[in-house]
Amino acid sequence: MAVETKSLWKSHGGMQGVYTHQSEACACPMTFAVYVPPHGQGQKLPVLWYLSGLTCTHANVMEKGEYRKAAAELGVIIVCPDTSPRGEGVADAPDDWKLGCGAGFYLDATEEPWGAHYRMYSYIIDELPAVIAANFAMADMRRQGIFGHSMGGHGALVAALRNPGRYRSCSAFAPIVQPMTAAWSRPAFAAYLSADERLWRAWDAVALIEDGARLPDLLVDQGTADSFLADGLRPWLLADACAAAGVPLTLRMAEGYDHSYYFISTFMAEHVAWHARRFAT
C-alpha cells in the first residue's frame, strides 16, 4: 500500500499533496490528491471524499474547487481520487468523452474490454480507503463523508446508498441522479454492465432508493442555468424518490448558476461545513 509523493504544497497552514500508487482494483497506476489541514500531534481528523465528474481528474477540484480554506478551518481531510483508470493497456474511447478514460462512472464494469480495469467502485470503497488509512496516520476512518459533482455526484450517492453506516454524510453538486435513464449515461452503462438493464439498478441512486436503500439526510445543490439539467441531471427525480421513501433531502436550486466550477466553488465551503457538523456528532 505504499504511495509515491508527486508534489506537496503548503496551503492555509496544511499540506496539499498529489500521490500515485499501483492499484490492484484498477490494475494500473492511479493518482489521487489529499489535503491535510493543520493539526496537532496525534490528532485524528475526519475524511471527506470528493468524486469528480466526466472528463475530470483529481486536479480539477484541487485547482478550482476552493475547498482548502474551509477544510483548514474545520479540520477536515479532503481526498480527491481520479475518475477512471488510465495508461498503457487501459481501454479507452478517445472519440467519446462519456466513455472510457475520464468516465469511469464509479462502478465495477463487467463487460470487455472494460472489466479488466474499470473497477472504480471497488477502488473508491475498498482499496483507496485502505491506502489512506495506511499512509495518513491522522485520518480517522471512523468519520467519513462523501460528496461529488455530476458523474461524481452520482458516484457519491451510490457509494453512500450501497454502504449504510460507512459515511456519516453525503452531498452532491448537480448529480446524475438516475443514470440508467439519462441520455448521456445510458451508453456507458450498456458498455460497462451489459444490455441487461436490471443490472443497472445497483448503480442508480433513484433506483437504489426505490429498492429500499436509505440515507439519514442529503444535501444537493443544482444550478438553474445548467445546460445538462433537463436531459442528464433531473434532480426532481431524486426529490420524488426521497419524498416517497421518507429520506430527508435538502435540494437547493441556485438561480443562474451553470455546471462549472464557478458554481461548485461558490457553495463548496457550505458543503464542507455541512459535512463537518455531521462529523462532530
Per-domain boundaries in the chain: 4-279
> Which residues of the chain fall below pLDDT 70?
none
What pLDDT sits at residue 155? 98
Contacts of 142 (CB under 8 A, 6+ apart): none
- In contact, 117 and 90? CB cutoff 8 Å: yes
What pLDDT sits at residue 184? 87
What pLDDT sits at residue 246? 98
- CATH code at 4-279: 3.40.50.1820
What pLDDT sits at residue 1? 73
What pLDDT sits at residue 135? 98
What pLDDT sits at residue 200? 98
Distance CA(103)–CA(187), nearest Å, equals 11
Q: Which of 58, 117, 149, 259 is catalytic?
A: 259
Q: Is the CA virtual torsion 203, 54, 235, 168 positive or negative?
A: positive
Active site (annotated) includes residue 185: no
Q: Which of 150, 169, 171, 185 is catalytic?
A: 150
What pLDDT sits at residue 281? 79
Q: Is the CA virtual torsion 103, 163, 46, 148 positive or negative?
A: positive
Active site (annotated) includes residue 226: yes
What pLDDT sits at residue 208? 98
What pLDDT sits at residue 264? 98
Vertex 236 angle, CA 194 and 252, to 5°: 125
What pLDDT sits at residue 272? 98
- In contact, 51 and 148? CB cutoff 8 Å: yes
What pLDDT sits at residue 2? 86
